[in-house]
Structure 1
Amino acid sequence: MIATVVWGTGNVGRAAIRAVDAHPALDLTGVLVHSPGKVGRDAGELGGLGRELGVAASSDIGAVLAAGPQAVVYAASGDIRPTEALADITRAMRAGAVVVTPALYALYDQRNAPPELREPVLAAVADGGGSLFVSGVDPGWGNDVLPLLISGLGTTVDVLRCQEIFDYSTYDQPDSVRYLIGMGQPMGYTPPMLMATVPTMVWGGQIRLMARALGVELDEIRETLERRPLEDTVRTRTMGEFEAGTQGAVRFEVQGIVGRQPRIVIEHVTRIHPSCAPDWPSPPNGVGAHRVVVEGRPRIEVTIEATDEGENRSAGGNATAVGRLVGAIDWLADAKPGLYDALDVPLRPALGKLGRRQR
């Protein structure tokens, strides 16, 4: 069994606790938290399992890493603290751990990551013998391995499009929804996530990764952006009221340009209420979905809906992204120490999980 620590217990960390507990090759040995109110609480409670796992949450990073875990699921946010996230991750790698995380966007395509990010990671590999695999929560598989797999079914491919389509009214993360994405803010407010070049910083690595897999040369990466205001004030179950006239929907694309045309596209369509921008793509269930569209011959469209934590499709997206990361741990543990991306790490069947109950 691979001794595994989950670092962070937010939307991603909750799903990570459940995924590690369910994995037949992993043993949850520690949980790291930042909030004093979570210290000492059982991992099963924090993960929403409804039963205890006998692992108490700790805020003592040094003590948890000194116990020598073989793997760490780094589930703490890197959105507004990338420097701190990098320091945490390299610290775990220097302790000899395999680390999987969605926190460092630029390492989606690790071969073309900035030297100031890549070099500290490679130094940590050399110092401690750990490994790192980064994949997104949007989810990563929806912007790399799935579209690449589906593209191979076509005779010709004109455009490869990946879509995330979500109503964020059920997403319990107000700081990200209100301030990073800007829902409920005046239309004159420019959300950090929508500033020029930021979408490319976040999703450009996946565009480059797919281009590399498809054997094409990118001319450039472009961005498009549309925003719509709410026509009426709406109230959400998890995040309260969003006023009429404030931002209610966002649609943007990160486009990989090949031969002067957008050929590889990652598109996000997000709303705080289904009444906003009804002419934009909507998920079949009205809540959320991920979709891959291959424009070519034949035209292929695949839509995936995932549900977790009751009927929460946002949590389902987190859970499948976490499943990709946690499912890679035993492969990484057997591989040589290094820095890996989605083209390196295979997406494997649910070996040993079929019909298995959580421990």
Structure 2
Amino acid sequence: MVDENTFYPSVPVLVWGTGNMGRASLRAVAAHPGLSLAAVVVSDPAKVGRDAGDLAGLDRTLGVAATDDAAAALATLDGGGAVVYAASGELRPDEAVADITRALSVGAVVVTPSVYALYDHRSAPAELREPIEKACADGGAALFVSGIDPGWGNDLLPALVSGLASEVDQIRCQEIFDYSTYDAEDSVRAIVGMGEPMDYEPPMVAPGIPSMVWGGQVRLIARALGVEVDELRETVERRALDSDVTTALGDFRAGTQGALRFEVQGIVGGEPRIVIEHVTRISASCAYDWPMPPDGGDGAHRVIVEGRPRIEVNVEATDEGGNRAAGGNATAANRLVNAIPWLRAAPPGLYDGLDVPLAPSTYLSRREA
């Protein structure tokens, strides 16, 4: 029998937030041999007191009840451990940064997808970066920020695939996604704009916002390739629904937005050499001429290297009964959670998707043992 603790010292973990990313994070912590779930923080009063296993969608209890008392939850880490900060930062960025800084200051490693500007911390504004650096130094802790779309698809994977080509003309990272079953209706409608009139400006693609969110990932890829990005450019396309559509999220009327496509382009030598593209729909019937998953399903992540040879990699992940949105969230959460042991051993500071090595799963070896 393999002694799992030989390889992974136990790390107490607080999962903060139990939405799409939080559910997946709870499952990831529960499955990891070197992590122990210490606390769960929720904001919904209806979730207070519920067992973490129930909130995670597991078929067993985990023996940890959710609380809305963040101070008490942090105290369970006893001045160390780790925090998976899965609470949304889209509409409350200042509060999210304050929560993360608080956790770092008491010595907890923090992994999170919630602060877009820190995907590439080297290009983050000093007024954001410096207080967090101080919190890391004061607490002796590390912070790793990676995206939910998923982050590894816009940093590690394209960097890896580029190494299989002798010549690279362009790298394109695509998320192709059908929002019809995504468990976040407010975001789908108000932020992405699905079901809103065509004269409505979705906040997600307001001028400058795509570059703020995904520009750091463009710069990460550029850093991996050893090139400098001259500027970032944005393109946006929207399509209206031809007919009414009813999904798990409700009714979406003809004439309202049914699809959204945008790019953040990293310009190198006057050409878009590094591109992050999102193609999103509320129904496969809308904008069917835009890129689709290879099998016609409801989601895929794709990396395309235009060069010699041309390389295309498609990744489709499913979870929670075959849902690809949940699968994408799960891979993003697993990337963050599995980084915790490495971060606990790393010097205090900020880390990104190129800094943190990919941690292979040990689940199969543990089963065989």
> Which TM-score bucket, shorter chain as reference?
over 0.9
Post-superposition CA distance 1:15-68 (Å, at most 9, x none): 000000001110011100111111110000000002111000011111111222
Equivalent in the alignment of 2:6: none
Note if contact 1:5-1:29 (Cα within 8 Å) is conserved in structure 2.
yes
Q: Would you say 1:297 and 2:305 are equivalent positions?
A: no
Asked if 1:244 corresponds to 2:254, the answer is: yes
CA distance in 2, matches of 1:114, 1:354: 42
- Give the residue type in structure 2 aligned to 1:22: A
Instruction: Report the counterpart of residue 200 of structure 2 in structure 1.
Output: 189
Conserved 8 A contact 1:154-1:296: yes
Q: CA deviation at 1:356?
A: 4.8
Alignment-mate amino acid for residue 8 of structure 1: G
Deviation at 1:355, TM superposition (A): 5.8
1:155 aligns with 2:172: no
* Deviation string, structure 1 residues 125-170 (Cα, Å, up to 9, x no partner): 1221121000000000000000000001001000000000011101
Question: Counterpart of 2:287?
Answer: 277
Letter in 2 for 1:184: G
In structure 2, how many angstroms separate the alpha carbons of the residues matched to 1:27 and 1:63?
Answer: 17
Mapped partners of 1:354, 1:176: distance in 2: 36
Which of 10, 20, 34 aligns to 1:11? It is: 20
| Matched AA of 1:149 | L
Alpha-carbon deviation of 1:184? Answer: 0.1
| Equivalent residue runs for 1:85-234 within 5 Å | 85-234=96-245
Give the AA of the match of 1:73.
V
Q: Distance in 1 between matches of 2:333 and 2:44?
A: 22
Partner of 1:265: 275
Provide runs of 4+ in structure 1 moved above 6 Å.
none
Q: Which of residues 320, 327, 338 in structure 2 aligns to 1:327?
A: 338
User: Which of residues 332, 337, 340 in structure 1 aligns to 2:348?
Assistant: 337
SS of equivalent residue, structure 1 residue 354: helix
1:284 Cα deviation after fit: 2.4
1:66–1:95: 8 Å Cα contact kept in structure 2? no
CA RMSD of aligned residues (A): 0.9
Shift of 1:204: 0.1
Task: Output the CA distance in 2 between the equivalents of 1:82 and 1:26.
Answer: 28
SS state of the match for residue 12, structure 2?
Answer: strand
Q: How many Å separate the matches in 2 of 1:348 and 1:101?
A: 17
State the secondary structure of the residue aligned to 2:133. Answer: helix
Q: Which amino acid aligns with 2:22?
A: G
Aligned pair partner of 1:21 in 10, 30, 43: 30
1:317: which partner in 2? 328
TM-score, normalization by structure 2? 0.95
TM-score (norm 1): 0.98
Report whether the alignment pairs 1:77 with 2:91. Answer: no
Can you list the C-alpha shifts for 1:286-308, whole angstroms capped at 9, x where unaligned? 21000000001100000000000
Gaps of 5+ in 2: 1-9
Q: What is the CA distance between 1:348 and its match in structure 2? A: 2.3
Out of 310-319 and 282-291, give the one that drifted further.
Answer: 282-291
In the alignment, the residues of structure 2 paired with residue 328 and residue 273 of structure 1 have an alpha-carbon distance, to the nearest angstrom, of 35
Matched, 1:255 2:265: yes
CA distance in 2, matches of 1:138, 1:120: 27
Paired with 2:46 and 2:238, the residues of 1 have a C-alpha distance of 38
Identity %: 68
- Counterpart CA distance in 2 for 1:98 and 1:164 is 29
In 1, the alpha carbon distance for the partners of 2:366 and 2:193 equals: 41
CA positional deviation for 1:113: 0.7
Q: Counterpart of 1:280 in structure 2: which amino acid?
A: W
Segment of structure 1 superposing worse, 14-23 or 56-65: 56-65
